[in-house]
Chains A and B, each alone.
Chain A
Amino acid sequence: MTTSLERPPSPPLAARAIAIPREPRWIGILGAVGAIAFVGAQALGVLTSPPDRDMGDLQKIMYVHVPAAWNAFIAFFIVACASIKVLLTNDERADLLAAAAAEVGAVLTALTLILGSIWGRPTWGVWWTWDARLTSTAVLLVIFVGYLTLREFAEEPERRMRWSAAVGVIGALNVPIVYMSVRWWRTLHQVQSSPATVDPHYVIGLRANAIAFLLLLVFFIGRRYHLSRVEVAIAAAAEGRALYDGEGESYADA
């Protein structure tokens, strides 16, 4: 038992600032534009399309139901891509983006299902039809919820990041498979088909609403993402403080 352990020179003291990211201005602008676009697109849809032969005015529910569905899948696609990025590069920000997209996607998916159910009841007399699209959407919702629940339970940030990325990618792989197998399952039993969305009367309304929803989607995901980054920055500041305080150095203002 001999020598003392080497004591390296102490690094220079420096005032260190913890940067809280500022939300880029375009997100707020996008939200405002999206809200206006939504109102406008809904009006366009309601005013320009005649009542449907079979469904009557109920058809107008499609102007929310269908864009919601499309954007839910876009959100899911974002989750998948961000998750792949996390697995490849361990990028924490990609993880936050995936989580934000999953939350917004889950809400949109639930909205799609509720509206689909409301549409189905007067049309076919049933609250739920087991058609391919609605069923795939229901499965997608459960996958989203599972993803978010896993994030709740995995407390450690690095573990949470890796686990949700793996679950996100593997879940994404399944969505097209679910869709195709359910569609096949349906054709085998020769049950009714889904509402037509290609009637030329509806196309303008649908496209306008799709764009409006897309703007809102980006806004909501952007804002949620920004909130997560603020949370992370504040937590890092608190932790950094905890790291230093252990020395016994008081952190009260000198």
Chain B
Amino acid sequence: MSGRFAFPIGDELRRTRAVAWKDISAERRSKTNFNAVVFLASLMLVMFGFALGPDAEALRSAAAGVLWLTILFSGVLAFNRSYQLELEGDSLETLLLYPGDRWPILLGKLAANLAFVLMVEVIVVPMAAVLYNVAIWHVLPPLLAVLALGTIGFVTLGTFYAAMASRVRAREVLLPLLLFPMLVPLLVASVGATTALLAGNAMGDAGSWIRVLVVFDAIFFVASMLAFEYVIEV
């Protein structure tokens, strides 16, 4: 365990970038996954709308919750896929035999998954604003911060747990089972902050929830990076 973060860290960052770039390129070349996820997310927004509406006020007050649930349930599809990439070509063994630490693999995949989910959000958030009649333009900067922080925590834990779930038989069920209980604080804080922002942030609640998100992200980022070495294996 000693020397885990041994210098030169430049090597490890270069590896991180290599893994991230490889995952992003492979995903871009087989567009099917991104399109499917965006379609599913859009469908969820519409279905939630049917379930909760058509009263505009009801929809507006539910918008933040619906948005985050949509992001979580559609984004989770990305994580197992990121390891599937290795398993398809039998590349996982080769990947694990390169010299150096293992955490660049996690960090690289995390970066690629983050880009993926953020791209999904670029489409889904405006769509939710339209379908649920919420004005987001006037709170865009803090809203983007909440989206970014919530997504980072989500993607960190998702990428971490998928390292295990993707290797077992019932991966579609095991990943949500492991991941979603961990996301309860993140969901509560993200929805809380989003709701507060959309409602005009009267009590400054958004700021408090954002602080919770920052702490949550920091704790689980460090924990995942440390634990990754123990769970990634051929």
Contacts and interface: CB of A to CB of B under 8 A. Distances in A.
B170 A178 contact: no
B181 A174 contact: yes
Contacts, number: 81
B178 A167 contact: yes
A181 B170 contact: no
Interface in A45-59: none
A163 B165 CA distance: 10
B216 interface: yes
B197 to A, nearest CB: 14
Given A153-B168, A185-B188, A166 B182 contact: no
A123 B68 CA distance: 33
Contacts of B188: 181-182, 185
B230 A145 contact: no
B219 interface: yes
A46 B205 CA distance: 44
Most chain A beta carbons < 10 A, residue from B188, B192, B208, B215: B188
B231 A173 contact: no
B52 interface: no
Interface string A50-89: 0000000000000000000000000000000000000100
B168 A145 contact: no
Given A146-B177, A149-B174, A166 B185 contact: no
Interface in B175-234: 177-178, 180-182, 184-185, 188-189, 192, 205, 208, 212, 215-216, 219-220, 223-224, 227, 230-231, 233
Contacts of B216: 177
B220 to A, nearest CB: 7
Interface in A154-179: 154, 159, 162-163, 165-167, 169-171, 173-174, 177-178
Contacts of A170: 160, 182, 220, 223-224, 227
Interface string A9-46: 00000000000000000000000000000000000000
A163 B231 contact: yes
B164 A181 contact: no
B138 interface: no
B189 A181 contact: yes
A170 B116 CA distance: 25
Interface string A111-148: 00000000000000000000000000001001101100
B29 interface: no
Contact of B212 (A150, A153, A181): A181
Main secondary structure of the interface of A (DSSP, over half): helix
A181 B210 CA distance: 12
Interface string B136-179: 00000000000000000000000011001000111000100110
A139 B181 contact: yes
Given A181-B189, A182-B188, A146 B178 contact: yes
Which of under 10, 10 to 19, 20 to 34, or 35 or more describes the interface residues of A?
Answer: 20 to 34
Contacts of A159: 233
A188 interface: yes
Nearest to B169: A153
B230 A166 contact: yes
Contacts of A171: 181-182
Contacts of B170: 153
Interface string B79-91: 0000000000000
Contacts of B181: 139, 142-143, 146, 171, 174, 178
Contact of A166 (B189, B220, B231): B231
Contact of A169 (B168, B174, B178, B227): B227
Contacts of A185: 188, 192
A135 to B, nearest CB: 8
List 9 A-B pairs, minimum CB-CB distance, nearest first: A181-B185, A153-B168, A142-B181, A166-B227, A146-B178, A146-B177, A177-B185, A162-B230, A143-B181
Given A139-B184, A174-B185, A185-B192, 10 more contacts: A150-B168, A150-B174, A153-B170, A154-B164, A162-B233, A166-B231, A167-B161, A177-B185, A177-B219, A181-B188
Interface of A: 87, 139, 142-143, 145-146, 149-150, 153-154, 159, 162-163, 165-167, 169-171, 173-174, 177-178, 180-182, 184-185, 188
13 contacts: A87-B227, A87-B230, A143-B181, A163-B231, A167-B161, A167-B164, A167-B178, A169-B223, A170-B160, A180-B185, A182-B188, A184-B212, A188-B192
